[in-house]
Amino acid sequence: MVDDIKKTSHTGGLGWSISRYDKFLNCKRQYFYDYYAKFDNDVSFEKIQFLKSLTSKALEVGNIVHDVIRDMLKRYQISTKPLNKSKFFKYSFDVTKKYCNSKTFFEHYYYKEVVSAYDVYEKIEMILKKFLDSARFEWIEKNAIYQSSKWIIEPKNFGETWINGCKFFCKVDFLFPIGDKICIIDWKTGKPDEEKHSRQLTGYSLWANCHFNKEAYDIIPMIVYLHPQYREKNVKIENDAITEFTNTVLNETENMCRYLVDIEKNIPKVKLEFPLTNNVFFCKYCNYKEICAKN
Ligand code: SF4
């Protein structure tokens, strides 16, 4: 199967990512809707896509915080002037209004809850304040901006990476040089998950290893928890961890490929082969509950 997977990856088929494999583990049916909607014979593609696009208050908080920090960093690449904090918060609120007005919230669609930009912004403002009070922000504004032309902020074309002929995706938020090392930062607004995030850091190291030809000891991957307290998690990645991670990606890609009838073309088995989870918690917050046989 490994050879088939490698062939698939090179032809644009299934690509591993932490979030994809999480979905796969949580509920195979949800995974089917997320990645193989066009193969559903019962529900229209448009309907599944609409449900997939539902956002939630928690998701939107993370999304907006990421986007305004991204925009702030990009602004430093144009001007080294200190941040005008009141303008920054006004901008953040405007982005919140724009996003909230253009999206359908899960809480509204399923529970008729009225979600206003003010509700969502309350937490965003709190998180951004913590970030602006952090030593990291001070360091960025006082020291790091002088090398801002070397920053890479949410790189678009770097997400896809290849290891041993297998494709995986790794979305990096912010990368910058420190001497001859490179530091990679990933912002988190959700609950800390030490095991999962350590794995993610290893993935970043592998990504940097592939794209920048850096050894593990020259890469400093860091998760920055912005909520409930500002905290940085920095793990020393050894070359062994990168080898282990590579094997994990290969094994987990193989597990997902067991649900395909055509690995090369990434064509799934029929929907009924993707079982429903027994975990009521996942169902409670699932975007697809309207169309799922579970309900
Ligand atoms: S409602 Fe539950 S079983 Fe159905 S797709 Fe969602 S998580 Fe899976």
Question: 3-state secondary structure string, the chain?
Answer: CHHHHHHHHHCCCCCECHHHHHHHHHCHHHHHHHHCHHHCCCCCHHHHHHHHHCECHHHHHHHHHHHHHHHHHHHHCCCCCCCCHHHHHHHHHHHHHHHHHHCCEHHHHHHCCCCCHHHHHHHHHHHHHHHHCCHHHHHHHHCHHHHHHHCEECCCCCCEEEECCEEEECCCCEEEEECCEEEEEEEECCCCCHHHHHHHHHHHHHHHHHHHCCCHHHEEEEEEECCCCCEEEECCCCHHHHHHHHHHHHHHHHHHHCCEEECCCCEECCHHHCCCCCCHHHHHCCCCCCCCCCC
In this structure, which residue's CA is closest to atom 3 in ligand 1? 276
At which residue do the structure tokens 């979030």 appear? 19
Task: Report angle CA 242, 245, 251 to the nearest 5 degrees.
Answer: 145
Question: Residue 130 corresponds to which tokens in the numbers above?
Answer: 């913590």
Q: Which residues line ligand 1 (CB under 6 A)?
A: 27, 29-30, 276-277, 282-283, 286, 288-289, 292, 294
Question: What is the structure's pLDDT at 169?
Answer: 85
- Measure 291 CA to ligand 1 centroid, in angstroms: 9
pTM: 0.89
- Measure 102 CA to ligand 1 centroid, in angstroms: 26
- Measure 37 CA to ligand 1 centroid, in angstroms: 14
Question: What is the structure's pLDDT at 12?
Answer: 58
Residue among 47, 292, 295 to mutate when testing ligand 1 (max atoms within 8 A of CB): 292
Question: What is the structure's pLDDT at 143?
Answer: 85
In this structure, which residue's CA is closest to atom 5 in ligand 1? 30
List the pLDDT tens digit at each of the 295 positions of the chain.
Answer: 655 555 555 455 788 998 999 999 999 999 999 999 999 999 999 999 999 999 999 999 999 999 999 999 999 999 989 999 999 999 999 999 999 999 999 999 999 999 999 999 999 999 999 999 999 999 999 888 888 999 999 877 667 788 777 788 888 899 988 888 888 999 999 888 878 888 888 888 888 888 888 888 888 889 999 999 899 988 777 777 778 888 899 999 999 999 999 998 999 999 999 999 999 999 999 999 999 987 7
Question: What is the structure's pLDDT at 119?
Answer: 92
Question: What is the structure's pLDDT at 8?
Answer: 53
Atom of ligand 1 nearest to the CA of 292: 4
Atom of ligand 1 nearest to the CA of 277: 3
CB 196 within 8 A of CB 18: yes
Atom of ligand 1 nearest to the CA of 283: 2
